[in-house]
Chains A and B, each alone.
Chain A
Amino acid sequence: MTIATSLEDACAALAAEPNSVIVAGGTDLMVEVNRGSRCVENVVALDRIPELADWHLTGDELRFGAGVTFAEICEPEIAALVPALAQAARTVGSPQIRNAATLGGNIATASPAGDSIPVLAALDAVLELRSTEAIREVPVTEFITGVKATCLMPGELIEAVRVPVLDGPQEFCKVGTRNAMVISVASLALLVDRSARRIRVALGSVSPIPLRASEAEDHASGHLDWDSGVQPGPEVVREFAELVAGSANPIDDHRGSAAYRRHAVRVLAERSLTRVLNRVSSP
């Protein structure tokens, strides 16, 4: 059991026992431990490392320590910079969960239903991974390689998450059975990037790995009159939603059928594009 107080401590402990279990907020890990489906012997706790709890803005880039909690991401200061990430954070669990659960933990768990994942995918977030040997950078879309599978190597931890601050409105929507304590059945992040003249869209819970709907992005970006701010008609929005639904790769499970999930992302796509278009022309 190591309660690390610096990144160096944590990496040294992981190097000494590469099969150690990393615990940050514990909200995913302890569910498995309580259920008896996971055994913990060597544990490295990351929740006392100041660097991991910190976030800062440099130019138009935000860098989150992996230990920043979802409660912190809901705060107005961060919400103003990455509104969709704050919206997603607010849908995570309950206040108790958001006080403990961390951004890095959500990524490392790599659940297809991880609420931050579609937003991070849409932002082209880059992860900084650290071990005693090296520091490397991996895009979040490459980090997650399958259902609860990542390219994190033994001895490595997620140190930070970097995302751009974009100019334009953002939306995160999620379908579930109630407004709290819900594992998403389908989710969608839609971001406007005025300077690149792009609409960015990513989906959650409808694919084993983070999914960008690139065809839908091309379609919406190409039909927006970026200079005049004149909105495209409803047929463009409908076609966009069809392309988003077509890009989904959902499965049937106890939370929803594949057909329902495809329908849900179609609705979320139409709704979120309509919402941002209502705001995109006003600076």
Chain B
Amino acid sequence: MSTDPFILEVNGQSHEVADAHPGESLLRVLRERLRLPGSKNACEEGECGSCTVLLDGQTVCSCLVLASTAVGRQITTIEGLSGDGGLSHVQQAFVDAGAVQCGFCTPGLIVSIGSLLESDPDPSELAVREAISGNLCRCTGYGRVVEAVHLAATRGGGSK
């Protein structure tokens, strides 16, 4: 059994989802049906944050969004954050600060940090740590991730 076809707005484009099963998560639809594998799948219970996307501008775990309920929402994935083929400030800061090791958590972290800098362009260290408290990284120890946030903040924040 599958759901009736529905349309999702992802990164400014409409996508028809034709044969999702009724309980299918937004993460699964993004990765398996829309071929947007940037959002990562690990825990499937909202613990790790590697599937973080923006839903109407707010960070959510896409593994915990029932895909068929996201109709009419603006969904932004990591693929939609870098305009004109270039890197966003946050992405470039991750490269420059060496905040990437295995890279699995990186897309989720970048979505969370971009969202933080949109609302708080010059965050305190505590605000940074709280903003990424739902993004688990088992490589970096977060030191260089926090450095990257401050670097991105000095370069103009989350928008680009």
Flag if A1 contacts B45 (CB, 8 Å): no
Given contacts A35-B45, A41-B1, contact A97 B134 (CB under 8 A): yes
Residues of A168-190 at the interface with B, using a CB-CB cut-off of 8 Å, are 179-181
Complexed CA–CA distance, A11 and B23 (Å): 21
Complexed CA–CA distance, A35 and B60 (Å): 19
Flag if B59 contacts A95 (CB, 8 Å): yes
Complexed CA–CA distance, A219 and B89 (Å): 57
Flag if A180 contacts B60 (CB, 8 Å): no
Which of A31, A33, A34 has most chain B Cβ within 10 Å? A34
Determine if B52 is an interface residue (Cβ-Cβ < 8 Å): yes
Size range of the chain A interface in the assembly? 20 to 34
Query: Smallest distance from the beta carbon of A101 to chain B beta carbons, Å?
Result: 9
Residues of B within 8 A of A181 (CB): 47, 133-134
Flag if B65 contacts A180 (CB, 8 Å): no
Residues of B within 8 A of A35 (CB): 44-45
Residues of A86-105 at the interface with B, using a CB-CB cut-off of 8 Å, are 93-97, 99-100
Query: Smallest distance from the beta carbon of A109 to chain B beta carbons, Å?
Result: 13
Complexed CA–CA distance, A25 and B130 (Å): 21
Complexed CA–CA distance, A38 and B63 (Å): 15
Complexed CA–CA distance, A189 and B98 (Å): 43
Determine if B16 is an interface residue (Cβ-Cβ < 8 Å): no
Residues of A15-40 at the interface with B, using a CB-CB cut-off of 8 Å, are 23, 25-27, 29-31, 33-35, 38-40
Flag if A100 contacts B64 (CB, 8 Å): yes
Given contacts A1-B4, A43-B68, A95-B134, contact A33 B23 (CB under 8 A): yes
Flag if A96 contacts B69 (CB, 8 Å): no
Determine if A138 is an interface residue (Cβ-Cβ < 8 Å): no
Determine if A47 is an interface residue (Cβ-Cβ < 8 Å): yes
Q: Write the chain B residue with the least CB distance to A178.
A: B133
Q: Write the chain B residue with the least CB distance to A47.
A: B69
Query: Smallest distance from the beta carbon of B70 to chain A beta carbons, Å?
Result: 10
The chain A residues found within 8 Å of chain B, CB to CB, are 1, 3, 23, 25-27, 29-31, 33-35, 38-41, 43, 45, 47-48, 71, 93-97, 99-100, 179-181
6 A-B pairs whose Cβ atoms sit less than 8 Å apart in the complex? A27-B64, A33-B23, A33-B66, A95-B131, A96-B134, A180-B130
